[in-house]
Amino acid sequence: MATAASAHPTACLALSDGTVFYGMGFGATGQTVAELCFNTAMTGYQEIMTDPSYAGQIVTFTFPHIGNTGTNPEDDETADPVAAGMVVKWMPTDPSNWRATQHLSEWLAARGRIAIGGIDTRRLTRAIRQQGAPHAALVHDPDGNFDVKALVAAARGFAGLEGMDLAKDVTCAQSYRWNEMRWAWPDGYAEQTEPQHKVVAIDYGAKRNILRCLASAGCDVTVLPATATYDDIMAHQPDGVFLSNGPGDPAATGAYAVPMIKDVIAKTDLPVFGICLGHQMLALALGAKTTKMSHGHHGANHPVKDMDTGKVEITSMNHGFAVDSQSLPDGVLETHRSLFDGSNCGIRMEGRPVYSVQHHPEASPGPQDSYYLFERFADAMAQRSAKEPA
């Protein structure tokens, strides 16, 4: 079945079940194949496209006004877009925002990312919700020449995210220091000049705003590649270890990440804090299991309940795998739970400052309900330092 958005379409989206959508292409020309997901956030399309957790995925935006604020260098979460492609309802208009420096289409084209507009995103989103995240092929050809059979075959040939270790593709090549804090009016991003805690952040696909939140919480941050070993970490004599967000199957990345995390927990009393893939890595290291979700959680409006306080936080999420709460071993407590589907959104070790959450407390994009988690990490490091002999 095909749906036509224009008499002369210049882009085509083909799903693995044979469904084909025609629309108008923008951004780069060419073809890409990936898993198709949807994101319900009303803001932050630039941050979403540059979030390394979207590696291997084409993002359908349910909010129709994508591109109306343009793009700018400050809002990138990594150097270049990582999401494979973009699907929107309406073609981007000329930007109307004082911070804009480039049109969305120009920004995508310069970075080799394909986009399609004029799509019935409500219908597409319903299909994803009902049938699960499909594999899809997206092509942008200004001449409108599409080999639909080949596109459907390409979508069906995509291996899928299960078993894929994508963290190794998006992690940093070498270690680096980070001292930039969160954006604040009127000066923008300020530098952390008086850090209180030395933190090693393991980069499975870290977003810049997470690192900024750590710096704003008083941390002197050193970022290490995803393959960093226990000895690599301890060489920096950290006060705490942070496990970042990232893409792909946590079980695949866990092949090398889990042994390191186990060593940190077993051999030290360092506070450990994980987000997103880092949450899943910690759970695996503590003996739990992870599962592939039907269509995942992607948006900036997800209600999560803090099981300790009863408080409900509105959170930003981006994940296609989840920790199986039924597999949590003794001594590991569930701290947060999704109020959408009851899936696990947080864990902690009993009696240890070792914890993690599935959602994104850095809120880029999204609400700021969960910023306190960075302060909790800083407080745990301060308490540990206070106990050490002078």
> pLDDT for 149-167, tens place per residue?
999 999 999 999 999 999 9
Once rounded to an integer, what is the mean pLDDT over residues 194-222? 98
Residue with tokens 């947060």: 336
DSSP 203: E
Measure the CA–CA gap between 160 and 296, rounded to whole angstroms: 14
Name the average pLDDT for the chain.
96
* Per annotation, catalytic residue among 276, 279, 297, 302: 276
* Strand pairing category for 57-61 and 85-87: parallel
Measure the CA–CA gap between 198 and 220, rounded to whole angstroms: 5
Q: Is 86 exposed, middle or buried (0-12, 13-18, 19+ CB in 10 A)?
A: buried
Once rounded to an integer, what is the mean pLDDT over residues 96-117? 97
Q: What is the pLDDT of residues 307-328, one digit of tens each?
A: 999 999 999 999 999 999 999 9
* Per annotation, catalytic residue among 319, 336, 359, 360: 360
Question: What do you get for the CA distance between the two ends of the chain, in Å?
Answer: 72
Order of strands across the sheet that contains 344-349: 176-178, 219-225, 197-203, 240-243, 272-275, 354-357, 344-349, 332-338, 290-306, 312-323
Q: Are 155 and 52 in contact (CB under 8 A)?
A: no
Q: What is the pLDDT of residue 4?
A: 46
Considering the chain, tell me which residue range(s) the CATH 3.50.30.20 domain(s) occupy.
2-157
Backbone φ and ψ of 321, nearest 5°: -120, 155
Residue 390 clears pLDDT 70, i.e. is over it: no
Query: What is the CATH number assigned to the segment(s) 167-387?
Result: 3.40.50.880
Structure tokens at 201: 């952040």
In the residue annotation, 219 being an active-site residue is answered as no
Once rounded to an integer, what is the mean pLDDT over residues 188-214? 97
Considering the chain, tell me which residue range(s) the CATH 3.40.50.880 domain(s) occupy.
167-387
Residue 130 clears pLDDT 70, i.e. is over it: yes
CA nearest to 303, candidates 375, 366, 210, 211: 366
Once rounded to an integer, what is the mean pLDDT over residues 350-374? 95
Residue 141 clears pLDDT 60, i.e. is over it: yes
Residues in the chain: 390
In the residue annotation, 360 being an active-site residue is answered as yes
Q: What is the pLDDT of residue 7?
A: 65
Percent with pLDDT over 70 in the chain: 98
Q: What is the pLDDT of residue 1?
A: 46
Percent with pLDDT over 90 in the chain: 94
Measure the CA–CA gap between 11 and 14, rounded to whole angstroms: 10
| Exposure of 224 in the CB half-sphere (CA atoms within 13 A) | 20
Once rounded to an integer, what is the mean pLDDT over residues 83-96? 97
Q: What is the pLDDT of residues 248-269, one digit of tens each?
A: 999 999 999 999 999 999 999 9
Residue 196 neighbours by CB distance under 10 Å: 14
> Per CATH, which fold does 2-157 belong to?
Glucose Oxidase; domain 1 (3.50.30)
pLDDT-derived band at 107 (thresholds 50, 70, 90) equals very high
Residue 318 neighbours by CB distance under 10 Å: 28
Residue with tokens 């049938």: 131
Q: What is the pLDDT of residue 97?
A: 95
CA nearest to 28, candidates 151, 185, 131, 141: 141
Q: Are 321 and 293 in contact (CB under 8 A)?
A: yes
Cβ-Cβ contacts under 8 Å for 131 (sequence gap 6 or more): 17
Q: What is the pLDDT of residue 5?
A: 47
Once rounded to an integer, what is the mean pLDDT over residues 35-49? 97
Structure tokens at 119: 């799509």
Once rounded to an integer, what is the mean pLDDT over residues 74-88? 95
Residue 328 neighbours by CB distance under 10 Å: 18
Measure the CA–CA gap between 289 and 301, rounded to whole angstroms: 26
